[in-house]
Amino acid sequence: MAAVPEPTTPEPPAAPPPPPAAGASGAAPTTGRAEAWPPPPPPPPSGRPDPAFVADATVAVRGASVWFGQKVALTDLSCSFGPGVTGLLGPNGAGKTTLMRAIVGLLRPNEGDVAVLERDPHTDRGVQRSIALVPEDEAVPAALSARELVRYTAALHRVRDRSLPDRCLDTVGLVDVADRKVRGFSKGMRQRAKIAAALVTEPRILVLDEPLNGADPMQRVALIDLFQTLGRQGRTVIVSSHVLHEVERLAGRQIVIIRGRLAAAGDHRAIRDALADRPRSVLVRTPEARRLAGHLVGMDAVRGVTVDGNTVVVSSPRAGELAELLPVAARQAGARLREVRPLDDSLESVFRELLR
Amino acid sequence: MSRSTALGVPVTAPAGRRLSTPFTALVGYTLRACLPIRRWFGVLLPCAGALLFGWLSASDSRSAEAAFGDVAEIGLFGLVLPLTCLVIGDAVLGADIRAGTFPLTWLSPVGFGTIVAGRWLGGWIVALVSLVPALVLATVVAGVPEGAGAMAIAGAAGSAAYIGLFVMIGAAVRRAAVWSLAVVFLGERLLGGVLSGIAQISPMWESQQVYAGLADDHGGGLLLRTGTPNGWSAVVRLAIVAVVTLAVASWRVRHLKPTGGDE
């Protein structure tokens, strides 16, 4: 797969590239508030930005509800997306794909609305110049070659640069097989062909539904780099994935949807911190493990302590308080701390707890 | 010399062919993607049937005009024309929607009217190169070569209207083939057979009347139906049917919620 270099003189995006937003890839994690579901998120404390929203939003979802007959796909969902990479997370059937389809205009919410660049993507054909979708489903025109597919999309978007389709195919590593029919492609190759077809429109807003499905490890790394590059260029990149550790790598900001509702927003650590009423485990490595454990046991913020050799695993219902108490306890115990790290800070654990 | 785009993609690829206009791309897509080999069999099979009808007519002991009149009414305009157009008309839009590949086109800045017109034109081109020659050949084989021109015009105008109709049905309902067959055989054949009002907007009856009016001196007159426009008036009527159906299809596509193939 061709490397995607940092553009030396990046072409300015359609709008001036704002500073890396909360969700911008590579940006420092936000100190966002996050709410667990249920209950529905309370209003944010005054003075603190709501992590479900970004200041420089290109996509705004306002109270969107979508239902198909008796099945409710989204319920009163409000959030926004801005330049940079944002991960859209949730278990199967959570409503991620429905939200993405609403964002690109393929469906209109039954209630509420979705605005892309302050326009309605369902009715305003002009806004389609700025959006591209890479759908998860396998549907591609099988009779076309990858090159024909990309050139078709380019022609519909009135792309002037005739070499751009081949460069996009090169970017996703398909230029050597560009004349092969898409029907003969593996799932990962089809996905990359669809990504090339999306890239050729040079979208300001790129919506990718499980784009890493079927990609081998090398391709995953290359695609993640590509998405991050696009995010750094000031494009709004919305990526859904169930491969959570990749989303952690890919997106600084995440929107978590569960059962059609906004479950949490922010970076995954902020989301995890918001679940303050749940026990959290911290691993402490110290040669004086038993002594430290003895000091920790009596503390209010500590629910349980396990000692194994030089390792102490502390379970706490209040992670913030533990963070303050641990150095104090270590000093009192005369323990030298070699390592302190949360055991359950991964997105998987956040997910598991949100699902409870 | 190396350039880079906003995507940061290095320029190493050759320039390639010039990119088409959206409308040309839509027509090209229709011809390349909407009509795979299997669909072509579905198109060419009734065309072969048209030739068989021509031979059948030639073997009739009556005059060539009289025999061909019967065969044209029942076989060519009653079966071959609608069935071939159904295969084409469903392929160019309805099948694309059902397969989940339509969002690729829908998610573009191209207007819905242009999309529908491009798809329709692609389908009509297919009919012009397959169905119309088959109908003309059938006329010649039947021993009525003087009616070939009228048959060509009837086939072209009838297929234009029919493909518009089936494009509209494909955009409107999911089981487009079933609805299309119902429209042809229940609506046009049965009701249109007794009600002039329906025959006047029926591609089947009007295309027959195009032939009847234009080939009046060569046996076409046997097919003339009172109360229904014929000849060039019927061509105009078919053009109106095509325009109206395409307008409805465009409106329908505007309100479509295209889904992916897995949904």
Give pLDDT, residue A268.
73
Residues A178 and A284 in one domain: no
Query: Could you give the C-alpha distances from A199 to A27, A151, A154, in angstroms and in order?
Result: 23, 11, 9
Q: Please report whether residue A190 resides in a domain.
A: yes
Give pLDDT, residue A233.
93
Burial (CB count <10 Å: 0-12, 13-18, 19+), residue A179? exposed
Residue A288: give the domain boundaries: 279-343
Q: Across all residues in chain A, what is the average pLDDT?
A: 81
Are residues A326 and A301 in contact, defined by beta-carbon separation less than 8 angstroms? no
Neighbours of B29 (CB within 10 A): 28
**How far is the C-alpha of B206 from the C-alpha of A58, rounded, in Å?**
52
Give pLDDT, residue A188.
87
Burial (CB count <10 Å: 0-12, 13-18, 19+), residue A303? middle
A103: closest chain B residue by CA: B107
Give me the CATH number covering residue A179. Answer: 3.40.50.300
For the beta sheet containing A304-308, the strands, ordered from the edge strand earlier in sequence to the opposite edge, are A304-308, A311-316, A280-285, A339-342
Residues A219 and A284 in one domain: no
Taking alpha carbons only, the member of A342, A338, A339, A298 closest to residue A320 is: A342
Residues A242 and A326 in one domain: no
CB pairs under 8 A between A and B: 160
Residues A242 and A263 in one domain: yes
ipTM of this predicted structure: 0.86
Q: Does A204 touch chain B (CB under 8 A)?
A: no
Q: Please report whether residue A24 resides in a domain.
A: no
Residues in chain A with CB shorter than 8 Å from the CB of B4 are 5, 7-11
Residues A258 and A301 in one domain: no
pLDDT tens track for A298-316 = 888 888 899 999 999 998 8
- Tokens describing residue B73: 């009414």
Whether residue B176 has pLDDT greater than 70: yes
Mean pLDDT to the nearest integer, B25-49: 90
pLDDT tens track for A28-42 = 333 333 433 333 344
Burial (CB count <10 Å: 0-12, 13-18, 19+), residue A40? exposed
Evaluate the CA torsion angle A33, A36, A37, A39 in order and state its sign.
Answer: negative
Q: Please report whether residue A266 resides in a domain.
A: yes
Nearest to B257 among A7, A107, A125 (CB): A107
Give pLDDT, residue B139.
94
Q: Which among A242, A273, A304 is the end of a domain?
A: A273
Q: Which residue has the higher pLDDT, A302 or A245?
A: A302
Residues A261 and A297 in one domain: no
Taking alpha carbons only, the member of A242, A218, A192, A223 closest to residue A87 is: A242
Q: Please report whether residue A23 resides in a domain.
A: no
Residues A196 and A237 in one domain: yes
Residues A170 and A65 in one domain: yes
Q: Which of A213-217, A284-288, B146-150 has the lowest mean pLDDT?
A: A213-217
Q: Which among A273, A289, A322 is the end of a domain?
A: A273
Q: Please report whether residue A37 resides in a domain.
A: no
Evaluate the CA torsion angle B6, B7, B11, B13 in order and state its sign.
Answer: negative
Domain count, chain A: 2
Residues A87 and A204 in one domain: yes
Give pLDDT, residue A77.
94
List all residues of chain B from 47 to 66 with a beta carbon under 8 Å from chain A: none
Mean pLDDT to the nearest integer, A238-254: 81
Give pLDDT, residue B10.
46
Three-state DSSP class for A78?
strand
Q: Which residue has the tokens 């493990």?
A: A289
Would the CB atoms of B109 and A165 count as touching at under 8 Å?
A: no
Q: Does B29 touch chain A (CB under 8 A)?
A: yes
pLDDT tens track for A143-192 = 899 999 999 999 999 998 989 999 999 999 999 999 999 888 888 899 99
Phi, psi of A169 (to 5 degrees): -65, -35
Residue among B108, B115, B254 with most chain A CBs within 10 A, to mutate: B108
- Tokens describing residue A243: 């491969």
Q: Please report whether residue A183 resides in a domain.
A: yes
Q: Where are the domains of chain B?
A: 22-254
pTM higher than 0.80, yes or no? no
Three-state DSSP class for B24?
helix
- Buried b / exposed e over B225-242, threshold 16 CB at 10 Å, is beebbbbeebbebbeebb
**How far is the C-alpha of A342 from the C-alpha of A337, rounded, in Å?**
14
**How far is the C-alpha of A179 from the C-alpha of B151, rounded, in Å?**
41
State how far residue B247 is from chain A, nearest Cα, in angstroms. Answer: 17
Residues A247 and A204 in one domain: yes
Q: Across all residues in chain B, what is the average pLDDT?
A: 88
State how far residue B22 is from chain A, nearest Cα, in angstroms. Answer: 4
The secondary element (H helix, E strand) that includes residue A266 is: strand A261-266
Longest CA span, chain B? 77
Residues A209 and A174 in one domain: yes
What amino acid is encoded at A58 in this protein?
T
The secondary element (H helix, E strand) that includes residue A312 is: strand A311-316
Q: Which among A221, A251, A273 is the end of a domain?
A: A273
- Tokens describing residue B93: 């839009």
Q: Which of A224-238, A251-265, B103-117, B225-239 has the lowest mean pLDDT?
A: A251-265
Q: Please report whether residue A22 resides in a domain.
A: no
Residues in chain A with CB shorter than 8 Å from the CB of B19 are 151, 154-155, 159-160, 162, 165
Residue among A156, A168, A172, A202 with most chain B CBs within 10 A, to mutate: A156
Would the CB atoms of A169 and B13 count as touching at under 8 Å?
A: yes
How far is residue B15 CA from its own chain's centroid?
37
Q: Please report whether residue A145 resides in a domain.
A: yes
Would the CB atoms of A144 and B33 count as touching at under 8 Å?
A: yes
Would the CB atoms of A156 and B110 count as touching at under 8 Å?
A: yes
